[in-house]
Structure 1
Amino acid sequence: MKHVIALLCSLAAGAAHAGCGDMAEACQLPDGEYHAVLPEAGGQGAPVVLWLHGAGSNGGNAIRNTDLIDALTARGYAVLTPTASRPFRDGGFSWNFFPGWTGRDETDFLKRAVADAAGRFGTDPQRVLLAGFSAGAFMVSYLACSAPQTFTAYAPVSGGFWRPMPERCNGPVRLFQTHGWEDTTVPLEGRVLRSGSFEQGDVFAGMELWRGANRCTGHAPTSYAETDSFWRRRWEDCATGSALEFALWQGGHSVPEGWADMVLDWFEALAVK
């Protein structure tokens, strides 16, 4: 009986995180949906973390990751978890990120989700961190590369670009890349998928693209730091209005413990004008 009660409590806690603010159902747009959780103080004036799920998932599943969502809302952020548009195996979805693919314009959809949340909840559409995991991180990277002015800053976790990689990215961009040293799903060097149909790119090559977009004067980082379990590298000899950091951690393909506070500290320290 105790196990049943614990399970019911767990499901109730997850349900509290699902929906559209106080409403049980997701927030609806003409061509998609997003889930929204507000900080304890409410949405008025709250900055936003727009969090993109990985392949095979959806916004409802993402919002039930209470460890991550609670860490973000505890800092005063509203969290929006949209659902991607491309069907992916067993009822899940993935993002329409790769250049040349047809389908929903994800950049436009994400912009409209942020605007919709501002209208519904009073969240601040000018303070938005676009972050995502795995396929969500690929989406973050491609959007930041092509249209860095869309949101305030970007934080991909366990994902970067696919080959052939972009020849260049637009800038300046404010971006914090995080990746696991032991990631075998999206290895740092990339890997071939589906017998050569797709090929993940090299994360370090992606960092070179970001340095070029930010017009950094050197290849080597200007500073190094260790924060909890993270090995951090930062480039500061770059264009005004840019920010670039890369954190490695020892684990695999997941969002590491402590990521939320580390990235929000970085985001809040940005000199955004």
Structure 2
Amino acid sequence: MAALACAALLAAGVAGGAQAGCGARPDPCRIAGGEYHAALPPGGGPAPPVVLFLHGAGSTGAAVMRNDSLVKPVLERGYAVIAPTGSRRFGGGAGRSWNFYPGWDGRDEAAFLHATVADAAERMGTAPDRVLLAGFSAGGFMVTYLACSSPGAFAAFAPVSGGFWRPHPAGCAGPVRLFHTHGWRDTTVPLEGRFLGGGRYQQGDIMAGLEIWRRANGCADQRPDGFDETGIFLRRRWDSCDPGSALELALFPGGHMVPRGWADMVLDWFEGLPPPP
């Protein structure tokens, strides 16, 4: 089902770079149920915060670590990068996807991601309570559903080019701290959604998803409270919401990708969040 359900999703764009393994070791970190790759920021230091990044369908954690435009700016800002590999087979190769849709059989991804964070904290001294969960495409779907069901599981959430599938959830737990990024020209996961698998599955509407997040956050109005521009990104945010929540959307003119500049923009947002109540 996984290959059919995610049939048109692309893996995260990969640029040349050294593959990170398990910190200083070349092989991935292996735990019960799966594996992850990790890299620590230069210069050491105690308990670095973490960007836990979930790859797109057909990719792996190792491929994420080769994406210099994503990984390098995160490391340079003092964060560790942890890139686990999904559990669902995708196609005939080594690529994987995520068990994101409610009711699918397979690995409990939330439990696996928590085990990943705990293992990295024990092995490498990363901060288990300062984790930004981010992901691209199918990884963005995974981030979105975890944010909906368990908004307190991680410090904040940052899906890229991935939201809900139809039928949209009736509601989500809240409050949530979430920054969604999407390409204006994305045809793989369009803003409006699309059918997959000959009509058996349907991606959801990103704007309808934002309405679900506004309800979860108790926002006073549908209208954004603020607008910003950061490089190529057009941003809109909702501030008149429950204490401890945060909600923002950034659109960029490209297609299905993690664009350059995303990491610094999202980390600026993450670092500017007020502490949870």
Equivalent position to 2:183, from 180, 185, 191: 180
Please say if 1:36 is aligned against 2:48.
no
TM-score by length of 1: 0.94
* Residues 11-160 of structure 1 aligned to structure 2 (within 5 Å): 16-42=18-44, 44-91=46-93, 92-160=95-163
Distance change >3 Å, CA 203–CA 41, structure 1 → 2: same
Give, as a single letter, the amino acid of the residue that structure 1 aligns with 2:138.
A
> What CA distance in whole angstroms lies between the structure 1 residues aligned with 2:142 and 2:212?
16
Secondary structure, counterpart of 2:187 in structure 1: coil
Q: CA RMSD in A?
A: 1.2
Aligned length: 261
How much does 1:42 deviate? 2.5
Equivalent position to 1:228, from 220, 231, 236: 231
How much does 1:17 deviate? 3.2
Q: Which has the larger radius of gyration?
A: 1
Q: Deviations over 1:28-80 (max 9, x none)?
A: 00110000011002263100000000001111111111121001101100000
Higher relative contact order (CA 8 A, sep 6+): 2
> What CA distance in whole angstroms lies between the structure 2 residues aligned with 1:65 and 1:228?
20
Structure 2: which 5+ runs fail to align?
A: 1-14
Equivalent position to 1:198, from 173, 177, 201: 201
The answer to whether the 8 Å contact 1:17/1:66 transfers is no
Secondary structure, counterpart of 1:187 in structure 2: coil
Secondary structure, counterpart of 1:17 in structure 2: coil
> What CA distance in whole angstroms lies between the structure 1 residues aligned with 2:66 and 2:203?
28
Q: Deviations over 1:72-128 (max 9, x none)?
A: 101100000000001110221100000110110000000010010000111111100
The answer to whether the 8 Å contact 1:157/1:177 transfers is yes
Q: Higher helix proportion, which one?
A: 1
Structure 1: which 5+ runs fail to align?
A: 1-12
Give, as a single letter, the amino acid of the residue that structure 2 aligns with 1:99.
P
TM-score by length of 2: 0.92
The answer to whether the 8 Å contact 2:17/2:68 transfers is no
> What CA distance in whole angstroms lies between the structure 2 residues aligned with 1:67 and 1:204?
28
